[in-house]
Structure 1
Amino acid sequence: MRLYSVLFACLVLVAVVFAGPVAGPALAQSATAGSSSDQTSPIQIILQENRRLIEISSRRTIGPAIAAVATSGLPQARSVLERWQDRALYLRKSDGRFFFAEVSGAGGERLIDIATGADAGPATQQELEQLRPNSGVRALIGAALVPFQLTDPDPAVRSGALDAIARDAAPGHLEALRGAIATETDPGLRARKERLERLLTIAYAPDPADRIAAIESFAGDLGVDVRAALNPLVATTRAVTPGAPPGDENIARRLSPGSDALPAAEAYRLLVKAGLARPRISAADKRNALAAHIENGTVAGLPVAGLDSDEARDRAYAALADQGLVPPTATEAEVQAALDAHVFYDRYAEPDPSVTAAAEAALDAIAFKVGLNQAVNLSLDALSLASIYFLAAIGLAITFGVMGVINMAHGEFIMMGAYTGYVVQQIVPDYTLSILIALPLAFAVTFAAGVAMERLVIRWLYNRPLETLLATFGISVALQQLARNIFGTQARPLTSPAWLDGALHLNDVVSISYIRIAIFVLALLFLALFLFIMRRTRLGLEIRAVTQNPRMAASMGIDPDRINMLTFGLGSGIAGVAGVAIGLYAKVTSELGQDYIVQSFMTVVVGGVGNIWGTLLGATLIGFLQKGIEWLNPSNTLAAQTYMILFIILFIQVRPRGIIALRGRAAGD
């Protein structure tokens, strides 16, 4: 029995001795795993495999490391990229393992397991190396995070991811975007994802059929992003080859040297750049080189007197080149021979001809639609300008048409209205309320100024047009100087309410500012108000009677003198309201009225003196004419004004009484 016990003890001892080297590491590994569960986690392994690239952290070399994490499919990939981007990823120097870290209360760092998020114990700053990616690396990490953000529960995050892709798309975003479309619940974001997916399909899809289908889906689309995606497909580079172009190149067109598309000099420069021909010097440089080597009346043994042709000078220069005295150059004959021996052509950057054909067809359809929308946009600009001219001219049409008074101070009533709006805004800070107060107040101020001007000056000058013109011109100068004395020479802002900021964008081509829309609506309101006054009120009836026949109106008990006063005040008041509207669009200065007085007179004369419908048509004609001339000659607005005045002069020669002639006193009856 004792023998058996001894034998058993020996066997145990042998087993322990031989099992120690095996069991020891296993036990150590088990203990280590218990203390740090991520040592063999897949995300830790990926970081370890790319440790050298991560430590270097160079924008040129970090790509594979970021891609390895982003494409791993691991649930921890996003958090690792986000912490890395935020500079919260650390490397422990002792064992080269990666952790997240947070500042602990003891002044050191608290390590966090990157696989489980569990507390991995404390560490001092000396034990850790903080990974600090520069802005370029952080941008690459941000791009890698986009696919994760496309499926984020927060719509704002998904929208930001779409913005990031639109700014800096990459081939890898296409599949991520396709996968994120099916799970998108927001209709707006889904539409954006689908549009962006088609744009990325054009650029990165491997199947030409998919690219062509995406291109054709954008035919006629006015988005700038579409043109940005299609234009690279039809971009060309110029090339030259000694023989036929390679069969695998997508050739846009062949070029003939010496044509408008390819001048001979440019063609030869292509040959020289490609190393297919010798460079040539200019004729002047050649003559200078020959002159510098004249010896005893000869150049390279050729008499100077014989160098009277290009061929002779070429021979002399070639002889100098053979002697190593000048750099060699191509002769005219060599240049022509080189041009004849080579094929010049433009080739597409896109190698697939079917893709470029689809892109060109889509761009042609887009160009046609863009042209139509540009015409619409130009028409909207012309209408808004016409509404401004109509507002500025409607008061002048009343005074000029009814009273026959050429009021050169009409522009200053516009200026007074604009300054009234400015003063009101200094008192009432609410811009919406201040504008609502300024409109009737500007009418009252300029109405009173107009009545005073008519009572003090105009009434004494009826039927004396030259004296009236000079008197109102003097009043115009005086009012301008008075405005300078009160408000100074600096432009004063008349601020529009916040709801008038920005513009109405119908698409990427057509847009119109809300201020112009408001002025257009105001012009329509004043048209309706004026028609109501003239057609539905006693004042309007009396104005029409005095306009048509003042003597007959007086015999019917109407006071023409009173009607003239009220008419002049009404016209001046409307000019004041126009000043408030124009002040929202232009800076308020003492010269504001002078910018519109010429157009106002042209509007009234072209439309027909004293006729509201004629004024409307005249403003429309002048607005469209000015915008059309500016579109044809956009670099010179002064020329546009000159051409417009010449057109008005010719128009008056054909219709001296305007588009709609008025019967009565204003028409000379």
Structure 2
Amino acid sequence: MRLFSVLFFCLVAVTVVVSGPITGPALAQSGPAVPGQGQPSPIQNILQENRSLIEKSSRRTIGPAIAALRDSGLPAARNVLEKWQDKALYQRKSDGLFFFAEKAGEDGYRLIDIATGADADAGTANRQDLDQLKPNSGVRALIGAALVPYQLTDPDPAVRSGALDAISRNGEAAHLGALRGAIESETDPDLKARKERLERLLTIAYDPDPAARIAAIESFAGDLGVDVRAALNPLVATTRAVTTGAPPEGENIARRLIPGSDALPEAEAYRLLVAAGLAPPRISAADRRNALAAHIEDGAVAGIPLDDLNSDAARERAYAALAARGLVPPTATTEEVQAALDGHGFYDRYAEPDPAVTAAAGAALDAIAAKLGLNQAVNLSLDALSLASIYFLAAIGLAITFGVMGVINMAHGEFIMMGAYTGYVVQQIVPNYTVSILIALPLAFAVTFAAGVAMERLVIRWLYNRPLETLLATFGISIALQQLARNIFGTQARPLTSPGWLDGALHLNDVVSISYIRIAIFVLALLFLALFLFIMRRTRLGLEVRAVTQNPRMAASMGIDPDRINMLTFGLGSGIAGVAGVAIGLYAKVTSELGQDYIVQSFMTVVVGGVGNIWGTLLGASMIGFLQKGIEWLNPSNTLAAQTYMILFIILFIQIRPRGIVALRGRAAGD
């Protein structure tokens, strides 16, 4: 019996030694037990396996834990990630288990099982017994990226669209498979097109198959999307490299470089050698001179008389002697520099290792560049056309007064300013922006028409055929009107808000776009062109104006009152300037100096186009608008210089064609 007992205890001891304590690794594999719940769920096991990362999470370290949840395939993984991102995931301090929690009572929390979403058997817990997981913005961003595959198949189209936006901003290799799997089931045509486009973009960046990448690249040939260029440019990006012999096998070489060429100056080539540790650094001539001067002894440096240090070679020998004695840092001589350059090879290499991929990317970018240049020209033309319409609106009134009456009205810009302020005042009374603009346009015409008639009756009529006095008088009126505007409205810029339907721009593609306000101004300019032509050709007033323009004495002998025609003509030109002020004020701040920004261009438009001719004014505005935009495109960093060049060009143009593009007979032409 005693022998049997000894054998039994020996067997138990061996079993314990072999199997180990039950609190060891065997228990760890099954995860901690939840009191009253038996074995933990698989999702709880994943969290427990990454517990140390989660408890001390940071953007740099949390990646494996998030990836484990994302790649688990568990139905509860998405909910856990979302709750974690929303700071609704808690950890119990006593055993480290994770729960969702909802406040229950004064200081209690109801615990919710993370796998089932039902109440946990653990019941409730006090707030001090729980740690709330509060991921920072970097961790939340990583969680958001991990949620994208789930969101791509969400029933809500808005969620799917948001997932595509997230991929567009920060696409990853992990998104490619999820995106491909979500294309076939997509029912929304627009979202499906976006998914297919993003799939091709991610294929370019992350697909391991070169053939698939090349096919995706070729599908974007001629595509002007910014996202396409962002995907292709890294494939043709190069870095400069140096080697002691032939480039390593597998290098995708863009071009070989020769030191001393325009592509690789010798100084830059030697800096590459120094940076790679293949050559000693070389000090500058100034530093070498200072080092020699600091070691002059008895009229010599390192035993070399100062009189002999009259060449770079001699100074290099003296410095080398000092370096040999340990008095100065060593440096390379000219011969050593040249030997180092001759003994190494220099080349640019692509970051992308596959030559076929870089060749396809280069060809696609070339096709895009050609189409991009054409579209940039179209976009520049649209900008020039919109600017020309603004100048035309600003100058059409001046074309009437200057062309018909020969009056140099320096206060024309202030009528534009008065129209803009009229629109501002109307908007203070009528809050509906659409209605206020519809009211402001005719009201601005009426206000500036009345102001123009008053100015003509009180001042201009006494100064006909006296251009210098007219110029000085209207210039004084201009200053007075500006000061009056400052006294009434102050010096602060006032907003003239456009209606909501004029917000934004018409985008033809990622290159060509034009704002709706400029389109509206262009349409307004065409309307005024049609209105002016109707008045001049289909009304009695237009007939009388044309008669006075051609020959005022003959018109007077036919019973036309030139004095009345001058008054109405000046009022009409001023009224149109007021309407132009409302249009200009929609995109420019309304100030007392608003008119001064357009008076010079207005006179140039009238003079270049041809005094007194509406078609000439239109051509002049187009010429100046295109010329200004073209000069600004050639010299974008200096708009003042661009305006100066434009004025010089116009001066030369007037020397060649003094009567403008379309010359008239009659008083306007100086007959």
- Judged with a 3 Å threshold, the aligned counterparts in structure 2 of structure 1 residues 65 and 483 are, in CA distance, closer, same or farther, namely closer
2:37 is the alignment partner of 1:36: yes
Alpha-carbon distance between aligned partners in 1 of 2:51 and 2:221, rounded to the nearest angstrom: 48
Further displaced range: 485-494 or 241-250: 485-494
Classify 1:138/1:645 alpha carbon distance in 2 versus 1 (closer, same or farther; 3 Å): closer
**d(CA) in 1 for partners of 2:599 and 2:214?**
57
Q: Give the Cα separation in 2 of the matches to 1:170 and 1:275.
A: 36
- Aligned partners of 1:576 and 1:663: how far apart in 2? 29
Q: CA deviation at 1:337?
A: 0.4
Change beyond 3 A, Cα 1:241–1:426: same
For residues 142 and 312 of structure 1, do their structure 2 counterparts lie closer, same or farther at Cα, with a shift above 3 Å needed?
Answer: same
**Shift of residue 641 of structure 1?**
1.8
Cα distance, 1:127 vs. partner? 4.1
TM-score normalised to the size of structure 2?
0.92
Shift of 1:129: 3.7
Alpha carbons of 1:266 and 1:482: their partners in 2 closer, same or farther (altered >3 Å)?
A: same
Equivalence for 2:463: 461
**Aligned residue identity for 1:609:** V
Structure 1, 106-115 or 432-441: larger mean CA deviation: 106-115
- Are residues 1:391 and 2:406 paired? no
Deviation per CA, 1:618-661: give whole Å up to 9, x if none: 11001111111111112222222221121111111221111111
Residues 191-210 of structure 1: matches in 2 within 5 Å? 191-210=193-212
In the alignment, residue 591 of structure 1 is paired with which amino acid? E
Alignment of 1:121-160 (within 5 A): 121-160=123-162
Query: Which residue pairs with 1:585 in the alignment?
Result: 587
Aligned to 1:272: 274
Provide the C-alpha distance between the structure 1 equivalents of 2:184 and 2:527, rounded to a whole number of angstroms. 50
For each residue in 1:569-592, what CA deviation from the matched residue of structure 2 results, as whole angstroms up to 9, or x when unmatched? 111111111111111122222222
User: Counterpart in 2 of 1:69?
Assistant: 69
Cα distance in 2 for residues equivalent to 1:222 and 1:262? 32
Letter in 2 for 1:36: Q
Match of 2:472 in 1: 470
Matches within 5 A, 1:262-661: 262-661=264-663
Which amino acid letter does the alignment assign opposite residue 112 of structure 1? I
Distance 1:562 1:468 in 2: 19
For residues 430-476 of structure 1, the C-alpha deviation after alignment (integer angstroms, 9 at most, x for no partner) is 22111111111111111111111222222222222222222222222
Say how many residue pairs are matched.
639
In the alignment, the residues of structure 2 paired with residue 287 and residue 538 of structure 1 have an alpha-carbon distance, to the nearest angstrom, of: 90
In 2, the alpha carbon distance for the partners of 1:60 and 1:484 equals: 58
TM-score by length of structure 1 reads 0.92
Aligned to 1:80: 80
- Counterpart CA distance in 2 for 1:634 and 1:594 is 23
Q: What's the counterpart of residue 116 of structure 1?
A: 116
Task: Measure how far apart 1:95 and its partner are.
Answer: 4.3
Amino acid at match of 2:233: N
- Gap change, CA 1:151 and 1:280, over 3 Å in 2: same
Inter-CA distance 401–160: structure 2 relative to 1 (3 Å threshold): same
Unaligned regions of 5+ residues in structure 1, if any?
1-24
Query: What is the deviation of 1:481?
Result: 2.2
Q: Separation in 1 of the partners of 2:634 and 2:245?
A: 45
What is the CA–CA distance in structure 2 between the aligned matches of 1:140 and 1:80, rounded to whole Å? Answer: 14
RMSD: 1.9
Quick check: 202-211 or 429-438, which moved more? 429-438
Q: Give, as a single letter, the amino acid of the residue that structure 2 aligns with 1:619.
A: A
CA distance in 1, matches of 2:655, 2:98: 89
Residue 253 of structure 2: which of 251, 258, 262 is its match? 251
What is the identity, as a one-letter code, of the residue corresponding to 1:75?
P
Name 1:56's counterpart in structure 2.
Answer: 56
Distance 1:304 1:142, change over 3 A: same
Deviation at 1:486, TM superposition (A): 2.1
Deviation of 1:126 (Å): 4.5
Q: Quote the offset at 1:410 in angstroms.
A: 1.4
Distance 2:34 2:239 in 1: 60
Are the structure 2 counterparts of residues 293 and 440 from structure 1 closer, same or farther at C-alpha, using a change threshold of 3 Å? Answer: same
Q: Cα 1:34–1:273, aligned 2, differ >3 Å: closer, same or farther?
A: closer
Change (3 A) 1:93 1:409: closer
The offset of 1:323, in angstroms, is 1.3
Select between 512-521 and 492-501 the one with higher mean Cα deviation. 492-501
Q: Which amino acid aligns with 2:133?
A: L
Give deviations 1:517-567, integer Å, cap 9, x for gaps: 111111000000011111111111111122122222222222222111111
- Structure 2: 5+ residue stretches without partners: 1-21, 23-29
CA distance in structure 2 between the partners assigned to 1:167 and 1:198 by the alignment: 15
Q: Which amino acid aligns with 1:110?
A: R
Q: Tell me the distance in 2 between the aligned counterparts of 1:422 and 1:357.
A: 58
Match in the other structure for 2:188: 186
CA distance in 1, matches of 2:397, 2:131: 78
Identity across the alignment (%): 87
Alpha-carbon distance, 1:256 to partner? 0.9
Corresponding letter in the other structure for 1:41: S
Judged with a 3 Å threshold, the aligned counterparts in structure 2 of structure 1 residues 516 and 140 are, in CA distance, closer, same or farther, namely same
Alignment correspondent of 1:6 = none
CA distance 1:33–1:616, change in 2 (3 Å): closer
Query: Residues 384, 122 of structure 1: CA spacing in aligned structure 2 closer, same or farther, 3 A cutoff?
Result: same
1:592-638: per-residue Cα shift (whole Å, max 9, x none)?
A: 22211111111111111111111100110011111111111122222
Q: Distance in 1 between matches of 2:223 and 2:490?
A: 50
Deviation string 1:158-181 (CA, Å, 9 cap, x unpaired) is: 111111111111110100111111
Counterpart CA distance in 1 for 2:651 and 2:60 is 68
2:101 is paired with a residue whose SS is strand
Q: Distance in 1 between matches of 2:634 and 2:183?
A: 46
Report deviation, 1:34: 10
Give, in angstroms, the shift of residue 94 of structure 1. Answer: 4.3
Distance 1:231 1:546, change over 3 A: same
Using the alignment, how far apart are the partners of 1:656 and 1:392 within structure 2? 22
Look up the SS of the partner of 1:254 in the other structure: strand
Deviates more, 1:404-413 or 1:613-622: 404-413
After TM superposition, the structure 1 stretch with the greater mean CA deviation from structure 2, 517-526 or 498-507, is 498-507
Per mean C-alpha deviation after superposition, the further-off stretch among 617-626 and 138-147 is 138-147
The one-letter code of the counterpart of 1:499 is W
Within 1, Cα distance between the matches of 2:341 and 2:517?
Answer: 60
Where 1:59 maps in the other structure, the secondary structure is: coil
CA shift in 2, pair 1:33/1:552, >3 Å: closer
Deviation per residue, 1:174-216 (Å, 9 max, x gap):
0011111111111111111111111111110000111111111
Q: Take 1:383 and 1:183, find their aligned partners in 2: how far apart are those partners?
A: 46
- Secondary structure of the residue aligned to 2:347 is strand
State the secondary structure of the residue aligned to 2:111. strand
Select between 167-176 and 285-294 the one with higher mean Cα deviation.
285-294
Partner of 2:104: 104
Matching residue's letter, 1:297: G
CA distance, structure 2, for counterparts of residue 258 and residue 33 of structure 1: 74
Q: Which moved further from structure 2: 128-137 or 582-591? A: 128-137
